[in-house]
Amino acid sequence: MYIPRLNRMTDLDTMTAFMQQHNFAIVVSAVNNIPVATHLPFTIARSENNLRLRSHFAKANPQWQTIAESDTLVIFSGPHAYISPTHYDKTESVPTWNYITVHAYGRASLVDFETQPDALEAMIMEMVDVHEPNYRGQWNQLSQRYKDGMKQGVVGIEIEVTRLEGKAKLSQNKSATEQERIADSLMHHSEGHVMQIGYAMMNTHQNPIDNAH
C-alpha cells in the first residue's frame, strides 16, 4: 500500500484497536496467479508482539483450498469521506478522499473439523464471544449432530501477521486552519462514516497520528 510519511500509522496498539473495531475485512489470496477475495469477520488475538487473525470460510468457497500456499492479505477498512476543494485556501485545488485502513499480511493455516474439531470449536466460540456472548447458551443447547453438521460446512483459517501497514489519510498536508475547517464540515454531515472522519481529523490535529483511530 502506498503510504506517504504523513499518513503512516506505526503504533501497534492503535492498529490492533482499529482492526478490532472494523473486523469485517477482505481476505485476498492468489489462485493460479489470479487474485481472489472474500469478505469475512475476523477475531484479532495479540500477545506481546504476536498478532493472529482468525476466521472461517464456507467449505463451498474454493478460496480456502489454496490460501495456505502463499502470503495472504487482509484489508481492514474504516470510515472514509469525500473532501471538497472548497475548504482549501487556494482556489487552484482539487477534490480528494480521506480514509483510514490497515493491511495485514501473513501466511494462513487451515483448521478443519475432521482433523482439529476442538480447535475449530474454539475459533467459532471466540467469534461468538466477540459479537454475541449470550448466544453461547443457545449454542450449547443445540444437538451435537446439528452443531457438527454446521462445523463440517466450514474451514477455519488462522493467519500469523508478519507485516502490518496502517494509513490514516486525514488532510495532514494542509494547514491547521484548513484541517479544522474540513473537520468541522465533516462532523456536521448527515452520514455517520463521514462524521467519523471529521472526529478522527480533530483527534489527529490535537495528537500524534497514531491516535487517529
Provide the CATH number for the domain around residue 130: 2.30.110.10
Residue 195 belongs to some domain of the structure: no
CA distances from 41 to 16, 32, 61, 131, 157 (A): 15, 25, 15, 10, 11
Domain span at residue 27? 5-173
Q: Looking at the 3D structure of the chain, how many domains does it have?
A: 1
Residue 30 belongs to some domain of the structure: yes
Residue 192 belongs to some domain of the structure: no
Residue 163 belongs to some domain of the structure: yes
pTM of the model: 0.91
Q: pLDDT confidence of 208, banded at 50, 70, 90?
A: very low
Residue 12 belongs to some domain of the structure: yes
Q: pLDDT confidence of 38, banded at 50, 70, 90?
A: very high
- Is the Cβ–Cβ distance between 184 and 165 less than 8 Å? no
Coil, helix or strand at residue 193: helix
Residue 100 belongs to some domain of the structure: yes
Residue 98 belongs to some domain of the structure: yes
Residue 155 belongs to some domain of the structure: yes
Note the pLDDT tens digit of each residue in 156-194: 999 999 999 999 999 999 999 999 999 999 999 988 899
Given this model, what pLDDT does residue 49 score?
Answer: 75
